[in-house]
Structures are given as structure tokens and as C-alpha cells.
Amino acid sequence: MSEQAEMAAARAPAADASGGPVAGAELVRGQKTVADSRVEISRLMRPHDTNFAGNVHGGVLLGLMDEVAFLCASKYAQGYCVTVGVDRVEFHSPVRVGDLVTLRAAVNLTGRSSMEVGISIVAERPDRQDSDRRTNRCFFTMVAIDDEGGPTPVPELLCETSEDLTWQCEAKLRKELRVAYGAQLQAGICVTAGPSE
């Protein structure tokens, strides 16, 4: 998906999902839509959020991503969720003190108990029009947890728009790559022989 399309998707209100409708996409019992899963939080970046270079510390942004991923997954699953993995954390441009950062999150893909949550961050100067820029994106894998701390099923995801299907397809690709990577490591592909005499 292009950066412009992604920005437009991130800006779109929940009730106005962009992309064309998917034929025959009708909600049945036990399902939820991508639109149902959307959440958004905003924070003003303050002086104590900065690193030695004067920009906002990557860890501050990561903490906010974790917060919005938790919010999105827990709202979608209607229960407690934990983070089990993070993929492709990207930092596109610096965030500065005084920026208002807005994090938008949605569920891209569900398994039995796991959900991939896609997060996009836009930063802007609150006192300047058209200053918004996409600064980060990343993908959190969250798992819904029961009272005993074990994984518990989540609602099936219904993709209503072509945009939803694109995100779902990309999430499936990330999952396949992750599994293939784990399998290759397990097979010992990187195990080197000891130093030769």
C-alpha cells in the first residue's frame, strides 16, 4: 500500500472505511469488522521525552505503540491481552518536542487466539496547518488471555473493504515469513562449524 493511501486510511474515521466494499462481506455471529477494532490515541511530546539529540526517544514511541496495541486488541477481544511479538518497527522521520503524535491502530489478521495489530503514527505541530507527517509504523502480535493466563479464542475478523483485505494479506505474509525464519533457525541454517585447525 502506498504511503499516501496509508495516510488516508489512517485519517479515515471508523465509520468511513476507505477502499471499495467487498462483495458478500456480511457480519455473522462471532465475527467483528476491522472498523470495530479501530482505536486512536494522541499525546503531546514533552521535554522529558527527548534523547540526547533533542528528538523524542524511540523508546517513548515504542511504549505508546504497546499501549495502543493493548487497547486495540483488548477492545476487539473483549478481554485481557498480552504482547507476544513485534514486527517491522519503522522510524521514518524524527518526532520533536511540541509535536502532537496520533497513533491509529486496527486488527489486520486474527488466528485462534492471536491478532496482528497494525499501528501508524502521524506527528504534527498543533499550531501549524498541514504539518502532519507519517513518522512510524509497526505490527504487534497480541494474544487474548483467559483467567488462568492461557490463550483464549478471539472473534473472527471480517474484512469489509479491499483495503482491509490488503492489510490482511500483508499480515499473512509477515506471519508466513516469521514461521519460515523460525523453521530455518531450528534447522540450524546459521550454525557454523567450529574454527578449523
Ligand X SMILES: CC(C)(COP(=O)(O)OP(=O)(O)OC[C@H]1O[C@@H](n2cnc3c(N)ncnc32)[C@H](O)[C@@H]1OP(=O)(O)O)[C@@H](O)C(=O)NCCC(=O)NCCS
Residues forming the site for ligand X (CB under 6 A)? 82-85, 111-114, 141, 143, 150-151
CB of 154 to ligand X, least distance (A): 8
Q: Give whichever of 20 and 63 is closer to ligand X, judged by the CB atom.
A: 63
Q: Give whichever of 55 and 83 is closer to ligand X, judged by the CB atom.
A: 83
Q: Give whichever of 9 and 105 is closer to ligand X, judged by the CB atom.
A: 105
DSSP state letters, 7-66: HHHHHS-TTS--SPBPTT----TTEEEHHHH-EEEEEE--GGGB-TTSBBPHHHHHHHHH
Cα distance between residue 114 and residue 111, in whole Å: 5
CB of 19 to ligand X, least distance (A): 25
Beta carbons of 136 and 63 less than 8 angstroms apart: no
DSSP letter (8 states) at residue 142:
E
Q: Give whichever of 24 and 149 is closer to ligand X, judged by the CB atom.
A: 149
CB of 149 to ligand X, least distance (A): 6
CB of 147 to ligand X, least distance (A): 12
Residue 119's nearest CA partner among 8, 35, 10, 15 is 10
Q: Which residue is nearest to ligand X (CB)?
A: 111
Three-class DSSP category at 181: helix
Distances (CA, A) of 56 to 98, 122, 182, 191: 10, 14, 33, 38
Q: Give whichever of 9 and 167 is closer to ligand X, judged by the CB atom.
A: 167
CB of 86 to ligand X, least distance (A): 9
